[in-house]
Amino acid sequence: MQKESMNSNITGGFEHTLEIDGTFVQLSDNKQAALQTTELKLDNLAEPVHFIGIGGIGMSALARLLLREGKAVSGSDKQAGEITNELQSLGAKIFIGHVAENVANAGSLVISTAIVNENPELAAARAKNLPVFHRSQMLAALGSNSKMVAVTGTHGKTTTTGMVSQVLIDGGLDPSVVVGGIFERIGSNARYGTGGYFVAEADESDGTHAKLPSHLAVITNIEPDHLENYPGGMAQIEDAMLEFAAHCDNKVIVCIDDAGCKKLLKRISKPTITYGRADLAPEADYRYESLPGFGMKVYKGKEFLGELALKVPGEHNKQNALAAIVSGMELGIPFDIAADYIPSLTRKADEELTLLVQGL
């Protein structure tokens, strides 16, 4: 039985919010009207599933996985591009431009927080009483039958998610993946796996990460950002991170190099695993000793695990790599396997930087 709810009141500190099955989504000022929503289950999902803004990096990843699930998918975007062309080749029906006629045959809609109330497709869907889902609901539904590894943080979550994905792939866990970037060795922003694991980048920008269920939760850092969506400032950001951690059924992996994470650590109700740079966080469960250039030595407690060198520069990438190693090891993947392919993992956007740093 489908469940409907409507809410546009001030809730949880967001100036305008929409409640979608218990998740409060921040809305822009011109989107104050409540949207009709229904409980999302893939088994009874009305098709075709139409994505408004299907060419976006986050929406396209969800569309790819739905196509692999055998669902009929359509979508619209302002202009054609590589992503929309790829989705079309995979079987999606693509519309260029946003007009009401695009949803004439749609069974349900998926939107992001960026989609305004005046969007003609959204208005038409609401007039037809079609079920409308937020992208965070679709992400949760796609991962509902898997052990979710969810990665969030103000910075570094895309790179970390890519690294975690590769560790699980190389470790034989065959995960599904949704990530906000195109990684060379993964080949896409989405991957369909059958191993019972799901690696997801959890978007903290609008607070929708807070309700995402997970088996492992990774928090890379916590800083003031997207304050237009967090009128309560850092206190509200911290509360959202605590809720994200509370929806983890196993362990929360936290970078305690970061002042925001370290401050929050004692308030996390679930078991935690900490990581960080040895000189900044000597008390961390997993630590790395930074070597000149791209190198790093890795320790677990007093045990020396090994050494590796990345292809991309920066202490932040060493932190990201350690988060991925920790995630893999906590899922039973030995260090040698977890660390083996991380040095070869780069995003397409990193390729020119990598060549420049290496002098090639």
Tell me how far apart the alpha carbons of residues 218 and 142 are, in angstroms, rounded to a whole number: 19
Query: Which mean pLDDT values do the consecutive 10-residue runs of the chain (360 residues) have?
Result: 30 37 40 47 94 97 98 98 97 98 97 93 96 94 96 94 95 96 87 97 89 96 86 92 96 96 95 97 97 95 94 92 97 94 60 32
DSSP labels for 119-146? -HHHHHHHHTT--EEEHHHHHHHHTTTS
What's residue 311's pLDDT? Answer: 85
Domain borders along the chain are: 4-138, 145-355
- The rounded distance, in Å, linking the Cα atoms of 225 and 232 is 12
Taking the CB of residue 305, how many other CB atoms lie within 10 A of it? 20
Instruction: State the Cα–Cα distance between residues 209 and 135, nearest whole angstrom.
Output: 11
157 classed as catalytic = yes
The answer to whether the CB of 240 falls within 8 A of the CB of 11 is no
- Counts of helices then strands in the chain (DSSP H, E): 10, 19
Domain 4-138 has CATH 3.20.20.80: no
Can you tell me the distance from the alpha carbon of 162 to that of 181, in angstroms, rounded to the nearest whole number? 8
Q: Which residue in 158, 160, 161, 346 is the catalytic one?
A: 158
Which pLDDT belongs to residue 345? 59
Task: Tell me what pLDDT residue 344 has.
Answer: 60
Strand-pair category, 4-5 with 37-38: antiparallel
Active site residue 274: no
Annotation: CATH topology of 145-355: UDP-N-acetylmuramoyl-L-alanine:D-glutamate ligase (3.40.1190)
Cβ burial, residue 42 (10 Å; 0-12/13-18/19+): middle
Cis before 48? omega within 30: yes
Which pLDDT does position 2 carry in this prediction?
32
pTM of structure: 0.86
Q: Which member of 19, 121, 201, 204 is catalytic?
A: 201
158 is catalytic: yes
To 10 degrees, the CA torsion angle through 177, 182, 185, 188? 60
Positive or negative, the Cα torsion across 26, 31, 34, 35? negative
Sign of CA dihedral 98, 109, 113, 146: negative
Cα separation of the two ends of the chain: 60
